[in-house]
Amino acid sequence: MSQRRAPTSSWSFRIATIAGIPIRFHFTFLLFMAWLAFMANRSEEWAAIAALIPALFLCVVLHELGHALTGRRFGIRTRDITLYPIGGVAMLTDRPKPAHEFWIALAGPAVNVVIAIVLGSVFFAMNDRLPSLMFSVEKFSFLEGLFAANMMLVIFNMIPAFPMDGGRVLRALLGMRMPLARATKIAGTIGQILAILFGFVGLLTGHIFLMVIALFVFLGAQQEVMATVGISLVTGYRVADAMMTRFRVVAHMDTLGAVAKILLEGAQQDFPVVFGEEVQGLLTREDIVRGMAAEGKDAYVAGCMRRDFKRLTPDDPLEQALNSFTQHDRSPVLVMHGDQLVGILTTENLAEFMMLEQARSRT
């Protein structure tokens, strides 16, 4: 379906690796497969429909590989491909330039166009007529079904709304003429209006699947706009511009009880752990709570801290700090100048920085 830069969902699991890219299933994709299998079970043509399921799955993967391999040509890597009921998502590690995004977004649907042309030609040669786009469970043919599915993938994905590929093509075209954040907001707004329309039609006609798609599109559009606006707010800044420079450190031989007292006294929640001048680790509020529960208040900090903390230098782009905070890892970044600790960056103070920046950009 699309390409996105978002954290990996924990509701998915890896099933294969192609061209060095992990392919993952989202659990809702399995529900969709189960629904297809259930429908197939009620039909005379169940064998053909059952064969369609892995074939359809293959077409979706090829679509995503179209995005991923085009991205690779522009030097952008793909972290993984996850399959959802309404398509797949190729997770790119970097944000492409508008001119590149245009081709990357177009490459996915183009793969399905090629597949549809091949299937249509074979069908025409065998039946002397063009395949129908109507999907019928009663009068089902494998070739016709797969052709229709690929055409649907093309039509659905070329809807000019986020998070579909068409929305990305639109954003890329707008992005060549205006700032990316504004282009994303326009494409995102169109996506949400279309999603509301889909939802409304789904409600009136009782098509639950349409309502589910509407919800996916609505949330996807919102997520993309927020991510892009967030990145536009930190672009051009360095880590040093947003980091906290007044903070407390704790020693590795301090007890959890002593640190808990500091936690209650002030607003700071995460503490760099030092041994003399040397930074040894990071003790977050969760670490303190977990350590207290497991070992009591007399346990040493050294036994509860994390040694594999995230670190950046003051001169690193602030965008890098934003990218380091994911759904699963919101722990702070220690800002180090060589071996010397010069600051901390937490999600809270990055959010504050972005709020101030947004307020400033409005005036």
To Zn ion, the closest distance from the beta carbon of 186 in angstroms equals 20
Show the tokens assigned to 5: 């830069």
**Using CB under 5 A, which of the segments 47-55, 124-132, 162-170, 307-315 binds Zn ion?**
162-170
To Zn ion, the closest distance from the beta carbon of 152 in angstroms equals 13
Pick from 299, 295, 293, 271: which is nearest to 284 by CA? 271
Burial readout 42-78 (b: 16 or more C-beta within 10 A, e: otherwise): ebebeebbeebeebbbebbbbbbbbbbbbbbeeebeb
φ and ψ at residue 90, rounded to 5 degrees: -95, 120
Residue nearest Zn ion (C-beta atom)? 108
Show the tokens assigned to 251: 């020693």
Residue 1 engages Zn ion in binding (rule: CB under 5 A) = yes
**Using CB under 5 A, which of the segments 25-33, 108-116, 210-218, 285-293 binds Zn ion?**
108-116
Q: Report the alpha-carbon distance of residue 354 to residue 229 in Å, rounded.
A: 10
**Using CB under 5 A, which of the segments 133-141, 161-169, 319-327, 332-340 binds Zn ion?**
161-169
Three-class SS state of 271:
strand
Residue 91 engages Zn ion in binding (rule: CB under 5 A) = no
Using CB under 5 A, pick the residue from 45, 101, 144, 165 that binds Zn ion: 165
To Zn ion, the closest distance from the beta carbon of 251 in angstroms equals 52
C-beta of 2 vs 70, nearer to Zn ion:
2
Pairing of strands 21-26, 78-84: parallel
Site for Zn ion in 253-312 (CB under 5 A): none
C-beta of 158 vs 183, nearer to Zn ion:
158
To Zn ion, the closest distance from the beta carbon of 163 in angstroms equals 9
Using CB under 5 A, pick the residue from 22, 71, 108, 167 that binds Zn ion: 108
The residue assigned the tokens 């799955």 is 57
Tell me the number of residues near Zn ion by CB under 5 A. Answer: 4
Pick from 235, 262, 206, 260: which is nearest to 322 by CA? 235
Residue 101 engages Zn ion in binding (rule: CB under 5 A) = no
Task: Please give the span between the terminal C-alpha atoms of the chain, in angstroms, as a whole number.
Answer: 38
**Using CB under 5 A, which of the segments 111-119, 146-154, 160-168, 191-199 binds Zn ion?**
160-168
Pick from 258, 265, 336: which is nearest to 304 by CA? 258
To Zn ion, the closest distance from the beta carbon of 286 in angstroms equals 37
Residues that bind Zn ion (CB under 5 A): 1-2, 108, 165
